[in-house]
Amino acid sequence: MLVFPRSINVLIIEDSHRDAQLILGELRDGGFDPVFERVQTAETMEEALMRQKWDVILSDYSMPKFTGLDALRILKVTELDIPFILISGAIGEEIAVQLMKMGAMDYILKSNLARLTPAIERELKDAESRKQKRQAEEELYKLNKELEQRVFERTEQLTEVNISLNKEIEERKLVEEALWIAKQVAEEANREKSKVLSFVAHDFKNPLAAVLRFVGMLENDKNTPLSEKHRETIGYISEGVQQLRNMVMNILDKARLEEGRMVPFPEQVELQPFIDQLKPIFHDMATQRNVEVCIEIQPELINIEVDPIHLRQILINLVSNAVKYNQLNGKAFLRFSQSEDGQWAVIEVQDIGNGIPTEKIPQLFIEYYRTDLSQANKVEGTGLGLAFVKKLVELHSGSITVESEVRVGSTFRVMLPLTVGVVLKTA
């Protein structure tokens, strides 16, 4: 790639033509295209400063009628911010310090011109920074003046509308009171809605239980022979009623949550016996869909301090989902473990299924949300289960997260605190 030389305006204060050419050669070698003027006296330097804008001044120290110190004094009088670099054949430390105090940016020995290009690049960068700072300060000053004017004008306006503002405050208070009343009415309506849902669900619950008992009697009655078709029909009825019963229970649970009646009562739950009691339920769920539920419990985790009713509801909801959406290898997994820091019980429920697109995961715990409405007739449910699980987990100061990959499956991970109630096996 071609690199074009950078144009730079250079004022050279030098009585030696040869030394000036050496300086220009070093600039060209360093990637600059210098536009220059060489001066040797105070008068010609002053004229050059008035005539043109310079990016950098390169000055010899000792000349017959002029010195670098004289050049610095002239530049200081003009108040121009131009990088000034002294180039000398030999200079003492005392003079160098004096020149730096006067405002010289750097000094370079003529025997070491290799330092020239880096020094110029550094000074040009610093000069640009100072320029931007000055512009910012000027802009800030301008803005401050404008702000002072606006404040003055606004103060006059506020003085004129003070009475009107007081009136607006009184009107706002009236609006706030009306909003508060409306909020109370809405909350009362929501409570009434929850009560109606609860009553309706209860009215459904008992007849559904009776139908399930009757269906069970038909299935288990050995004295009444049934054809295969009749048994298949009874199976459909049983499954449908069970689905409807689960929906009713979800509605009841939602109503209890909204009414604040689901306060957790934690106790020590021995994990293995507790899971053994749930295995028949998991088995019934899984058998209907030809799925096997594989349960793994970390040996170190024995007890969990949790509300057992809530833990049962959490597990049944998550395992039920894993069974319903499992479509590939006929297995769902329920795993219990302890976090590395010993502060959390980790419950993982994994299915091998369609998975969930990443953009839909944040909506999973919204009530009535379904990830794919086209599946509404294939997979039963109200869309309340995961929202209910999340609220139960949060009642225990825990959290629930999801990891999912499309066409691979999903893993739901529940973290319940174990700051109290963890019992570890001893060797």
CA-CA distance, 266 to 381, in Å (whole number)? 29
In a domain, 243, yes or no: yes
Both 238 and 294 in one domain: the answer is no
Q: Could you tell me if 192 and 267 lie in one domain? A: no
Q: How confident is the model at residue 247 (pLDDT cuts 50, 70, 90)?
A: low
Residues 209 and 343: beta-carbon distance below 8 Å? no
248 and 295 belong to one structural domain: no
**Cα distance between residue 386 and residue 365, in whole Å:** 5
- 287 and 376 housed in the same domain: yes
Q: Report the pLDDT value the prediction gives residue 104, as an integer from 0 to 100.
A: 87
Whether residue 396 sits in one domain with residue 277? yes
C-alpha 233, offset from chain centre:
52
The alpha carbon of 140 is separated from its chain's Cα centroid by a whole number of angstroms, namely 34
Burial of 129 per CB tally in 10 Å (0-12, 13-18, 19+):
exposed
For residue 151, pLDDT over 70 is answered with yes
265-301 in b/e form (b: 16+ CB < 10 A) is: ebeebebeebbeebeeebeebbeeeebebebeeeeeb
**DSSP notation for 112-173:** GGGGHHHHHHHHHHHHHHHHHHHHHHHHHHHHHHHHHHHHHHHHHHHHHTHHHHHHHHHHHH
CATH of the domain at 67: 3.40.50.2300
420 or 186, higher pLDDT: 186
Of 216, 237, 257, the position where a domain reaches its end is 257
CATH number of 321's domain: 3.30.565.10
| pLDDT classification of 10: cutoffs 50, 70, 90 | very high
Report the residue count for the chain: 427
Q: Average pLDDT of 321-350?
A: 85
Same domain, 273 and 380: yes
Q: Are residues 207 and 306 in the same domain?
A: no
Residue 67 forms part of a structural domain: yes
Amino acid identity of 253?
D
Q: Is residue 320 domain-resident?
A: yes
The SS3 assignment for 43 reads helix
Which residues form the domain of 318?
Answer: 262-417
**pLDDT tens, position by position, 259-310:** 656 678 888 889 999 999 988 888 887 877 788 889 999 988 888 888 888 8
Residue 101 and residue 223 in one domain: no
Strands in 344-351's sheet, in edge-to-edge order, are 292-297, 331-338, 344-351, 409-417, 399-405
Q: Which of 226, 257, 288 is the last residue of a domain?
A: 257
Same domain, 281 and 236: no
Please report whether residue 360 resides in a domain: yes
Does 381 fall in a domain? yes
Domain count, the chain: 3
